[in-house]
A = this chain, B = another copy of it.
Amino acid sequence: MAKKLMKGAEAIGEAAVQAGCHLFFGYPITPQNEIPEYLSSRMPQVGGAFVQAESEVASINMLYGAAGAGERVMTSSSSPGISLMAEGISYCAGAELPVVIVNIMRAGPGLGGILPSQADYFQTTKGMAHGDFRLLALAPWSIQEAADLVQDAFDLADYYRNPVMVVGDGLIGQMMEPVEFYEDRQPIKELPPKTWASTGWKRDRPKAIINSLFLDPAELERHNFHLKEKYDLMERDEVRFATYGAVDSADVVIIAYGTVARVCLSAIEALEQEGIKVAMVRPITLWPFPYKAVREVASKAKDILVVELSTGQMIEDVRLALHRPRPIHFHCRLGGMLVSPEEVIDKVKAIKAGTSEEVQHA
């Protein structure tokens, strides 16, 4: 298909449709309303269903039902709405259901504000909800990548039978950029038929029970270990990242993701012109985190700079990536304020000049 100028939210909606997702359940929340709005008229066109749920709690449980019935299904929301889905997402993970959840992050905590943020990093990558489970989390930095990753998300979800989250910030939701959808797109994984789905029991397979309850602790322990193995596989096979700039000879290596990484790239290009060599590792999967890539690039750079729209949640993963203590610097904007290329440039110069303070750690 030809390139189209699309709003991120619409591109995300269309990507779902292109990926064969014909079911969307969601509840309005800024800054991602255009996703449900777009799909409310798009889904009927493809014979699918759009339901405005009564809440995010209901949305995620509708996903649980639809995914359990073997269909591709998506919801989208923004930070407070994602928090309301916590229990339901844990259920999806426990019952091994492939669902795709889009979080267009806004500033928190609480009602916070509606402007861009990355303060849901921990929530996305670590403790979103109770129990031992993980979300595969993809973080696009452009509208085209958002469209691509949403499509990949469905394949990954189906392959691993696990919830996959696509996280962007308000810019990804609101921005327009050219997008291209490929007509001959093939799944990125070989996908077996969903024989586990509850589609009416015709006695041609075991009874399908979509369930996360295991009253026998020994059985639940086996289930937990089974899930863990799956997560180990994802950590082995699904890490995605991109590197930029002088990866082999950088004065400073920046770790940043999402639209913040674009801002950093602008800064890197400007710094290059001034002869300052900066590299960047951009995690595309927030979980599994590209520990190895960060370690390798960082090992060749003098200093490390983490740039984030949070108080430094990703620093922990960066620190875990490094096998020896290294100076880590940090720049952030919070509450919906955005990082500018100029700020990054200044920070890098400060690091080089030795006037930037390292992040302290207990």
Residues of A at the B interface (CB closer than 8 Å) are 57, 79-80, 82-84, 86-87, 90-95, 105, 107-115, 117, 119-133, 211-225, 227-228, 235, 239, 288-289, 291-292, 310-311, 313, 316, 319-321, 323-325, 333-337, 361-362
Residue in chain B with minimal CB distance to A115: B217
Establish whether residues B130 and A214, one from each chain, have CB atoms under 8 Å apart when the complex forms: no
Residue in chain B with minimal CB distance to A129: B83
Bound-state CA distance A320–B316 (Å) is 8
Establish whether residues A334 and B121, one from each chain, have CB atoms under 8 Å apart when the complex forms: no
Residue in chain B with minimal CB distance to A113: B220
Task: Please list 8 pairs of residues, one from A and one from B, whose beta carbons are closer than 8 Å in the complex, sorted by A's number.
Answer: A79-B130, A84-B87, A92-B110, A112-B131, A112-B214, A119-B130, A224-B311, A291-B361
Q: Given B86, B213, B333, B335, which contacts A111 in the complex, CB threshold below 8 Å?
A: B213
Indicate how many identical chains form the complex. 2
- Give the residues in chain B near A111, CB-CB below 8 Å: 91, 94, 211-213
Establish whether residues A335 and B228, one from each chain, have CB atoms under 8 Å apart when the complex forms: no
- Give the residues in chain B near A121, CB-CB below 8 Å: 127
Establish whether residues B288 and A362, one from each chain, have CB atoms under 8 Å apart when the complex forms: yes
Bound-state CA distance A126–B95 (Å) is 24
The 9 A-B pairs at the shortest CB distance, nearest first, are namely A108-B131, A110-B212, A94-B110, A220-B335, A109-B131, A122-B127, A217-B336, A79-B130, A221-B335
Given A221-B335, A335-B221, are A108 and B132 also a contact pair (CB < 8 Å)? Answer: yes
Q: Given B87, B127, B228, which contacts A125 in the complex, CB threshold below 8 Å?
A: B127
Give the one of A87, A212, A310 with max B CB within 10 A: A87
Residue in chain B with minimal CB distance to A336: B217
Bound-state CA distance A200–B320 (Å) is 49
- Give the residues in chain B near A90, CB-CB below 8 Å: 80, 83, 108-110
Residue in chain B with minimal CB distance to A218: B337
Residue in chain B with minimal CB distance to A317: B316
Q: How far is the CB of A166 from the nearest CB of chain B, in Å? A: 15
Residue in chain B with minimal CB distance to A228: B311
Given A112-B214, A213-B111, are A221 and B83 also a contact pair (CB < 8 Å)? Answer: no
Residue in chain B with minimal CB distance to A133: B109
- Give the residues in chain B near A323, CB-CB below 8 Å: 325
Known pairs A57-B57, A79-B130. 14 more at Cβ < 8 A? A84-B84, A94-B108, A107-B220, A110-B131, A111-B212, A119-B224, A120-B130, A120-B131, A121-B127, A123-B127, A125-B127, A132-B311, A291-B362, A323-B325
Q: How far is the CB of A359 from the nearest CB of chain B, in Å? A: 12
- Give the residues in chain B near A316, CB-CB below 8 Å: 316, 320
Establish whether residues B223 and A335, one from each chain, have CB atoms under 8 Å apart when the complex forms: yes
Bound-state CA distance A128–B80 (Å) is 12
Q: Given B124, B220, B288, which contacts A334 in the complex, CB threshold below 8 Å?
A: B220
- Give the residues in chain B near A324, CB-CB below 8 Å: 324-325
Establish whether residues A130 and B108, one from each chain, have CB atoms under 8 Å apart when the complex forms: yes
Bound-state CA distance A125–B228 (Å) is 20
Bound-state CA distance A310–B324 (Å) is 27
Given A83-B90, A131-B79, A214-B113, are A221 and B362 also a contact pair (CB < 8 Å)? Answer: no
Q: Given B123, B291, B333, which contacts A128 in the complex, CB threshold below 8 Å?
A: B123
Q: How far is the CB of A84 from the nearest CB of chain B, in Å? A: 5
Establish whether residues B336 and A220, one from each chain, have CB atoms under 8 Å apart when the complex forms: yes
Q: How far is the CB of A221 from the nearest CB of chain B, in Å? A: 4
Bound-state CA distance A271–B221 (Å) is 27
